[in-house]
Amino acid sequence: MDTIVKGPKRFGMTGYERYLLYRFAAKTGLRAREIRTLIVGSFDLYKLSVTVKAGYSKHRREDVLPLRSDTAILLGEYFKGKTPNVKAFGGACKQLTKRTSDMIKTDFESLLLCSVSTDAKPSVPVSKLSISEELF
């Protein structure tokens, strides 16, 4: 986790912004297209929910999904001072793009490099699953 949080700015996002994005995506199961459409006003941090508008939902209806309280706290701190109509994720970029997969790949490769010593083979196989468990 520290590898991403303290990592360099990539694709217009700081390491911490990318960490929040990955954590949110993993906890909600939302797709990249759904996440790209979210604005700060999509989140109700008191009711611990996020709303995806019908036009962007995979179900083609408005979806209200629960948020874990620990994730809501982190998002609340991140959204502090932002107006409700501002995009929720994307950093300095206009929005997340189709290159988001490149960003994820780069961060996972960084995690793999930090997880595996160059001097010895790991005693437990390192996989994307074990890395994602470490993230969250």
From first to last of the 136 residues of the chain, give the pLDDT tens digit.
566 777 778 778 888 988 898 889 889 988 888 888 899 999 999 999 999 988 777 777 888 999 999 999 999 999 999 999 998 987 666 656 667 777 777 777 776 665 554 444 444 444 444 444 444 4
Helix (H, G, I), strand (E, B) or coil at 131: helix
> Would you state the pLDDT for residue 124?
43
Q: How many domains does the chain have?
A: 1
Which residue range(s) make up the domain with 104?
2-135
Q: Is 83 helix (H, G, I), strand (E, B) or coil?
A: coil
In the prediction, which pLDDT does 1 show? Answer: 58
In angstroms, the CA 132 to CA 111 distance is 10
- CATH number assigned to the domain comprising residue 46: 1.10.443.10
Residue-level pLDDT at 128: 47
Q: Rounded to two decimals, what is the model's pTM? A: 0.73
- DSSP conformation class of 59: T
pLDDT at position 50 is 96
Total Cβ atoms within 10 A of residue 64: 11
Pairing assessment for the beta strands 63-66 and 49-52 based on DSSP bridges: antiparallel
Question: How many Cβ atoms are within 10 Å of 107's Cβ, its own excluded?
Answer: 21
pLDDT of residue 71: 94
The Cα–Cα gap between 95 and 114 comes to: 29
